[in-house]
Structure 1
Amino acid sequence: MNNIRNTETGEFGLSVGDMRSWFAQEGRVAMIADEFEGVLEHFESYSATVQPEHDATTHKAVQIAPKKVGGVLTQKWQIVALNGDELAQIDAQRVADEKAAADAARITITKRQALLALFDLRGIKDSDIDAQIDQVPDETQRYRARVDWQGAASIESDSPTVQMLAASLDLSASNLQALFDYAKTL
């Protein structure tokens, strides 16, 4: 049970082990029963409550001093806005989670598998892909797409070049998924 508060330091959520450590630091020896009832001088037990609902992306619940409710010392909370560091940490975690999800969803196949799948399932040949790349209006994008496609030993399902080619070849997301799934079997 972690419903003990040090009245001297204001620290919440202490366990019986925490109390023993405090007494050891004070140079005292204390035998404390596991069913602590808040009778020691610097500690008090309190009734735990559920944190109030809040938007965890912008706020947090912080324990404040417990209050007596109906004669029982009861845990209390205050909702406070996250600071800049906390917001940055949440944003960094979101970005990491999105990257992990994208990495997990990515399918990588060999160029040989890609070409065979395109031909087997859609009748699309390497020359058809070259023709689509030739139609890219921006010279820089066209060159980068050509180098990316022609120079690739492997093809990733989420690469910008694959996404551009899928759109120009009228391949839906489900068509592209089916192509990659089939290519993995080759």
Structure 2
Amino acid sequence: MERIPFLLPESAKKPAALFLGVVFGFLLQKGGVTRYETIVGQLVMVDFTVLKVMLSAVLTGMLGIQVLLQINLVTLHPRHGSFGSSVIGGLIFGLGFGLLGYCPGTAAGAAGQGSLDALFGGVGGMLLGTAFYSEIYHRIEPTVLRWGSFGDITLPELLRASRWKVVIAVAALLAAVLSAFSLTGL
């Protein structure tokens, strides 16, 4: 997405991003998803807090982006995707999640609340992983990252449907899932 140049001067963008990151981490912490026990509870399917928080975030973000698109405040710039890059990303994410019980966002939030496993394993692992990936990127980009290319496509383009139709359908599905969790006490 293009940045909105007229809302913030260039010098305020990084502090604003830091502020929003702190707010997001605070909300993750208040939602309980920075606790290792909550994440493990989700993995063994006895505590659905993580799923509820993430589905709510996806729903809010999706609707917000769609409104910004509608009033021409942002433009989407989809990135090239492929099955190769999805598999590699999934393996890296799964390895980190399986070893630590944190995803990147919850690891940062947990580190912020003082969890040493998240600080050293999560944040340290992300920094090492980023350095490693930047070293090998130029070698794997033309090969592995292009396997099974599906190009620069969005879900509405894939489905050959209007953005609003897809957004409304996905929003209804997410709202139904969240309602089902609420009604069943999960």
TM bin (shorter chain): under 0.3
Structure scoring higher RCO (CA < 8 A, sep ≥ 6) equals: 2
More helix by percentage: 2
More strand by percentage: 1
- Structure number with larger C-alpha Rg: 1
**How high is the TM-score relative to the length of structure 1?**
0.17
